[in-house]
Homo-oligomer: A and B are copies of this chain.
Amino acid sequence: MTVKKIVGTNITSPKGFKAAGMHCGIKHKKKDLALLVSDVPAAVAGVFTTNAVQAAPLKVTKEVVYNTKKMQAVIVNSGNANACTGKQGLLDAQAMQQLAAERLNIDPSLVGVASTGVIGEIMKLAPIVQGLPKMEPKQDLESAIDFAQAILTTDTVMKNTQYSTEIDGKEVIIAGTAKGSGMIEPNMATMLGFITTDANIESEHLQAALSHITDITFNSITVDGDTSTNDTVLVMANGLAGNESLTPVHPEWSKFTEALHLVAQDLAKAIAKDGEGATKLIEVEVTGAENDVEARKIAKTVVGSPLVKTAVFGCDANWGRIIAAVGYSGAKVNVEAITIQIGGTTMVENGEPIPFSEEKLIQILKQHEVKIDVSVGVGEGHGHAWGCDLTYDYVQINASYRS
């Protein structure tokens, strides 16, 4: 095993990263303002929502990712998405960038901005102005936890993960933290993800790796099919591990991408599992599709089906809803070759029902993680998607979110 998981939750584990998080007053009580900063400007890569309506902070952060191509810090608030806030919204996002830069004494063009929360309300800057001077980014675990908590909205738990590997004989760490948990249909969702690493790598190669990995991780989860205006995943690589600069021809390139993949996958699954109101993580694995893209399309359709989601919530081994979702996914399938398994038990083989033990299936569906395998008999395409069950609590949370 050349890539290993590190126990513990620390976005500041990679060398040279500091974090802070606090309650400044955008929300009533919970932490709502966060800062992440690298000792030196870091190579940066970012992926952003595909929603045509994009929140103001994304415009600011895209400038940093695409033009500056380096990032040294990111300021994040929760409680207000600063989306659909017109010209004032853009001015406010720029002000946040400026304020963070002043606080940290760095150039504003090196500062990213991310916001999550209610859409369409003008930001209150006063709490941020008052809060920033009190923030002291540090490298300790407590500060990393403060950051991870301050970016949450309706999430019930923090999402953190970290892996280490060795490149050119130097230890390289990749750590990440993220928030979900509603309006999650990435491409992206109101999900924010922040990944830090001390690897030495140019932005160009970091971006290529992130874009590829995002497709098979963050873009393969769904909570409710809604794509947010604010989704952002940023990776900052500050190079302090001291390895030779990573490129796809570096002999240990795959170690780095594997670690980045695992960080992204852990965060994506954690977001799906903590979907609004969710009690279970659902993983769908599809084989035999025309290609990998089609396989993911089928997997996402199944895991996104409200009827499949409610059936899993109700511990009902209702494979008919699974095969119906496969059928309307729009992907090419061979109906007479479809095989469906729930928790390893075959329910459908070659398109026809197989008798199974209801009692056994109820036990399988009572677990906190439910695996559905689908094979569609067309080709070699293979893919995963992750989601969660649809529960009373999802309705409750979202019928009363804004007020």
Q: A-side interface residues toward B, CB under 8 Å?
A: 50-54, 81, 83-86, 118-122, 182-183, 185, 187, 224-229, 304-307, 310-311, 313-314, 316, 318-321, 323-328, 333, 335, 338, 348, 351-353, 390-392, 394-396, 398-403
Contacts and interface: CB of A to CB of B under 8 A. Distances in A.
A316 B399 CA distance: 7
**Central interface residue in A118, A224, A327, A394, by most chain B CB within 10 Å:** A327
B401 A52 contact: no
Nearest to A224: B306
A83 B320 contact: yes
Contact of A50 (B83, B328, B392): B328
Contact of A228 (B83, B319, B324, B394): B324
Nearest to A117: B320
A326 B226 CA distance: 10
A307 B395 contact: no
Given A50-B328, A323-B53, A323-B120, A316 B392 contact: no
- The 8 A-B pairs with the shortest beta carbon distances in the complex, nearest first, are A119-B320, A314-B399, A53-B327, A310-B398, A227-B328, A86-B352, A51-B327, A224-B306
Number of this chain's copies in the complex: 2
Contacts of A321: 119, 183, 226
A335 B53 contact: yes
Contact of A399 (B81, B122, B313): B313
B392 A396 contact: yes
A182 B308 CA distance: 12
Contacts of A335: 52-53
Contacts of A314: 398-401, 403
A307 B226 contact: yes
Contacts of A306: 224-226, 306, 394, 398
A400 B328 contact: no
**Central interface residue in A187, A351, A395, by most chain B CB within 10 Å:** A395
A86 B395 CA distance: 37
A286 to B, nearest CB: 14
A229 B328 CA distance: 9
Contacts of A86: 351-353
A316 B226 contact: no
Nearest to A120: B320
A224 B399 CA distance: 16
Given A320-B84, A326-B53, A182 B307 contact: yes
A351 B185 CA distance: 23
Contact of A395 (B53, B119, B310, B402): B310
25 contacts: A51-B328, A52-B326, A53-B323, A53-B324, A81-B320, A84-B320, A85-B353, A86-B352, A86-B353, A119-B318, A119-B321, A120-B348, A182-B307, A183-B324, A185-B328, A187-B328, A226-B306, A226-B324, A226-B328, A310-B395, A311-B402, A314-B400, A314-B401, A314-B403, A316-B400
Contacts of A338: 53
